[in-house]
Amino acid sequence: MFKGSIPALVTPFRDGRVDEAAFAALVERQIEAGSHGLVPCGTTGESTTLSHEEHREVVEICVRTARGRVPVIAGAGSNSTEEAIGLLRFAKAVGADAALVVSPYYNRPTQDGVVAHYQALNDAVQLPIFIYNVPARTGSDVTPETMGRLARLPNVIGVKDATAQLDRVSRHTALCGKDFIQISGEDPTAVGFSALGGVGCISVTANVAPAQVAAVQDACMKGDYATARRLNDRLARLHRALFLEASPAPTKYALSRLGLCLEDVRLPLLPVASDAVRREIDEAMREAGVLA
């Protein structure tokens, strides 16, 4: 159920508010292009600057628009355990299929504290949970040994691993079991991640090139890594370009070039300012086949 290309959706804004129509259209575009799942309110969705009301609104629109055609993994993370529980409860209530829960950021808990956080979530809400491990943003790591402990919790079914440390796939398999669902959170290394035992990618690039990223993951799922590499080579420049400035500003610029949403991001982020970066994103989009 949870596999393949799963875009971490941007949250479009217009006049300072969530652009509901644009967001629903982005969901439809992803499904029509062959994406295998959806993540609203992740890091790329600017979840940290959404109000609680907006967060719930975005998750609900995604679930309602998807209508069960693909699974929805709702972002539900917080550095407050009680707040995360509330987001989990809402995701379950509106029909999300699972939740993506980032390891608590800024607080920098001990590994025992990380386990206690997820234990509390596991006990409070009966909804499948993916741990989101992204040390570059959270300031702390969920070690493979801790992941092995967390995998024993009934509702913890997998990980979004954004460490770019490919050796972790085998380590997680050994410590968490072969049924633990491992999904990459890093586009440039996603093919290698799948070759080692992963089953997909929660992708930023798929916002801009959904059909192309889905084709890469389709090839991976068939074990056709020659095709996956060939297709991914056309996306490599775009993978890099979308992080030339603070994400998701480059992604929103790219989507604006396709007429799909405005460039607007929320402070402290700013729209892409550099003409050189804009030109590089344009060229990367052309190389990927999404811009004429």
User: What span, in angstroms and rounded, lies between the C-alpha atoms of 8 and 30?
Assistant: 11
Cβ proximity of 127 and 99 under 8 Å: yes
160 labelled catalytic: yes
What are the structure tokens assigned to 170, written together? 């085998």
What stretches of 106-222 adopt beta strand conformation (E)?
Answer: 129-133, 156-161, 181-184, 200-203
Helix crossing, 275-288 with 249-257: angle to 10°?
60
Residue 82 has what pLDDT?
97
Q: What is the pLDDT of residue 249?
A: 98
- The answer to whether 31 and 70 have CB atoms below 8 angstroms apart is yes
The Cβ of residue 17 has, within 10 Å, a number of other Cβ atoms equal to 11
Contacts for 291 with CB less than 8 Å, ≥ 6 apart = 257, 258, 282, 285
Q: Considering the candidates 105, 118, 132, 253, report the single residue annotated as catalytic.
A: 132
- Evaluate the omega torsion of the peptide bond into residue 271 and state whether it is cis, within 30 degrees of 0: no
- Find the catalytic residue in 105, 160, 252, 253: 160
Q: What is the pLDDT of residue 44?
A: 98
Domains of the chain (ranges; CATH) run 4-223 (3.20.20.70)
For residue 132, indicate whether it is catalytic: yes
Residue 107 makes CB contacts below 8 A (sequence gap 6+) with 79, 113
In the chain, the amino acid numbered 136 is A
pLDDT, tens digit only, all 292 positions of the chain: 999 999 999 999 999 999 999 999 999 999 999 999 999 999 999 999 999 999 999 999 999 999 999 999 999 999 999 999 999 999 999 999 999 999 999 999 999 999 999 999 999 999 999 999 999 999 999 999 999 999 999 999 999 999 999 999 999 999 999 999 999 999 999 999 999 999 999 999 999 999 999 999 999 999 999 999 999 999 999 999 999 999 999 999 999 999 999 999 999 999 999 999 999 999 999 999 999 9
The confidence score (pLDDT) of residue 290 equals: 98
Q: Which residues contact 3 (CB under 8 A, 6 or more apart)?
A: 36, 37, 181, 183, 199, 200, 217, 221
Pull the structure tokens for residue 213.
């990223």
Helices (H), 18-151: 20-32, 52-66, 81-94, 111-124, 135-138, 144-150
